[in-house]
């Protein structure tokens, strides 16, 4: 696809201008993104707020340009919104759990079920727009138990590195509100499987690995030991 100027670069993809209201998401490693585009179309057809996809070819997705700050950026500008953002994440996961995954979507290992899973739905992948939240970056999407998606978000928020004390404090507020809004018992059984995925990722940092191990150990122990 023809592209214009580079807008942004992430670990996984570059984003290029592609005309009024459109961008091209291009895989940095050249992998085929057509399945990711199909997942976004499927989610959107079922009423979930994914960006609109106009075309997909090989490593490129031509898609709606989504203007807005992510939940963490927005919350740091408006700290009074942090708890609402935590509840929003939980609500988005409940809405996604109601979407049945297409049969061609691979199952998430260790998480049997038929719900559409994003498997990377954290504050940086939810943009606050004039039309409401939009969920981006569907590269990890799979099919499985809805609790697995909740566990994935829980792990990401509790253990991902933050850039400073303000972001850490904001993250803690969002996480607390999120945990108050979910069914932890439904998510706990999937923490180990999702932690394994994170630990297998070569981009996971040593400090993050230690935090993942501590979280899983603590939650597993709490589940085994009834409160007296």
User: Which of 15, 46, 64 represents a domain boundary (last residue)?
Assistant: 64
CATH value at residue 21 = 3.30.200.20
Domain interval for residue 95: 69-224
Q: pLDDT, tens digit, for every residue of 128-185?
A: 999 999 999 999 999 999 999 999 999 999 999 988 999 999 999 999 999 999 999 9
Residues 126 and 162 in one domain: yes
Q: For helices 146-159 and 206-224, what crossing angle results, to 10°? A: 130
Radius of gyration of the chain measured on its C-alpha atoms? 18
Would you put residue 225 in left (φ > 0), alpha (ψ -120 to 50) or beta? beta
Global model pTM greater than 0.85 = yes
User: Which of 46, 64, 82 represents a domain boundary (last residue)?
Assistant: 64
CATH value at residue 149 = 1.10.510.10
Residues 114 and 206 in one domain: yes
Instruction: Report yes or no on 1 lying in a domain.
Output: no
pLDDT of amino acid 154: 97
Residues 107 and 176 in one domain: yes
Residues 108 and 29 in one domain: no
Residues 11 and 78 in one domain: no
pLDDT of amino acid 223: 61
Residues 132 and 188 in one domain: yes
* Residues in the chain, total: 228
β-pair partners for 60: 26, 57
Residues 104 and 58 in one domain: no
pLDDT of amino acid 222: 65
Instruction: Report yes or no on 128 lying in a domain.
Output: yes
Residues 92 and 18 in one domain: no
Separation in Å, CA 23 to CA 3, 95, 121, 164: 8, 26, 21, 31
Instruction: Report yes or no on 75 lying in a domain.
Output: yes
**Cα–Cα–Cα angle for 116, 69, 150, nearest 5°?**
30
Q: Is 15 helix (H, G, I), strand (E, B) or coil?
A: strand
Instruction: Report yes or no on 26 lying in a domain.
Output: yes
Residues 166 and 94 in one domain: yes
- The total number of structural domains that make up the chain: 2
Regions in the chain scoring below 70 on pLDDT: 222-228
Residues 141 and 45 in one domain: no
Instruction: Report yes or no on 195 lying in a domain.
Output: yes
Residues 11 and 122 in one domain: no
Residues 73 and 56 in one domain: no
């Amino acid at each position: 696809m023809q592209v214009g100027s580079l807008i942004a670069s992430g670990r996984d993809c570059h984003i290029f201008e592609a005309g009024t209201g459109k961008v091209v998401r291009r895989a940095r490693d050249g992998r085929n993104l057509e399945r990711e585009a199909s997942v976004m179309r499927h989610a959107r057809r079922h009423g979930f707020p994914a960006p609109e996809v106009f075309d997909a070819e090989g490593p490129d997705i031509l898609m709606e340009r989504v203007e807005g700050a992510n939940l963490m950026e927005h919350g740091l500008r408006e700290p009074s919104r942090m708890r609402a953002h935590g509840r929003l994440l939980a609500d988005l996961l409940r809405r996604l759990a109601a979407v049945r995954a297409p049969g061609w979507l691979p199952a998430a290992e260790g998480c049997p079920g038929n719900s559409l899973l994003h498997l990377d739905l954290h504050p940086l992948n939810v943009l606050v727009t004039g039309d409401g939240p939009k969920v981006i970056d569907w590269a990890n999407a799979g099919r499985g138990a809805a609790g697995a998606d909740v566990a994935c978000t829980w792990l990401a928020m509790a253990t991902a590195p933050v850039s400073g004390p303000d972001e850490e404090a904001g993250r803690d507020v969002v996480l607390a509100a999120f945990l108050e809004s979910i069914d932890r018992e439904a998510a706990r059984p999937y923490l180990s499987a999702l932690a394994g995925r994170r630990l297998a990722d070569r981009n996971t940092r040593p400090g993050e690995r230690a935090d993942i191990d501590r979280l899983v150990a603590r939650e597993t122990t709490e589940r085994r030991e009834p409160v007296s």
